[in-house]
Amino acid sequence: MGRKVSYAIDARSYSHYNNNDIIIASVYMPFNDSSVQCYNDFLSVIGVMQGLIDKYYSCSFIFGSDLNTSKLSTTSTRDLLSNFCNKNSLLWLDPTLNGIDYTLVI
């Protein structure tokens, strides 16, 4: 029996002023166990996110996420997300001091 992959993306489109639509997507990734399979799963989800941006290129995006990687970490999944944000001119918000380290990309 194969490994069950658990992740989810839910995206909703909202009309904004001047017909400038915004897409808000919620992204969840399973716990990062530093395995090759986890990296591949993470890469797949980044691919789906990239597909949304490519398909709806005229829209603005907010990805509210629990990608189970931290902007402050030194992991390969952090590097994937950082490159994705840079390529698409997205802002990966910094964690707050003494706060919860969730991932939000705008």
20 or 87, which is more confident: 87
The mean pLDDT of 65-83, rounded to a whole number, is 85
Other CB atoms within 10 Å distance of the CB of residue 70: 16
Per-position b or e across 18-52, b if 16+ CB within 10 A of its CB: eeeeebebebebbebeeeeebbebbeebbeebeeb
CATH architecture of 8-105: 4-Layer Sandwich (3.60)
Mean of per-residue pLDDT scores for the chain: 79
pTM: 0.78
91 or 105, which is more confident: 91
Model pLDDT for residues 18-61, shown as the tens digit of each residue = 667 888 888 887 777 888 988 898 898 899 999 999 998 888 88
Q: Where are the domains of the chain?
A: 8-105
85: its two tokens: 């944000």
Query: Which residue is it, tokens 């698409």?
Result: 88
Q: How far apart are CA 97 and CA 54, in angstroms?
A: 34
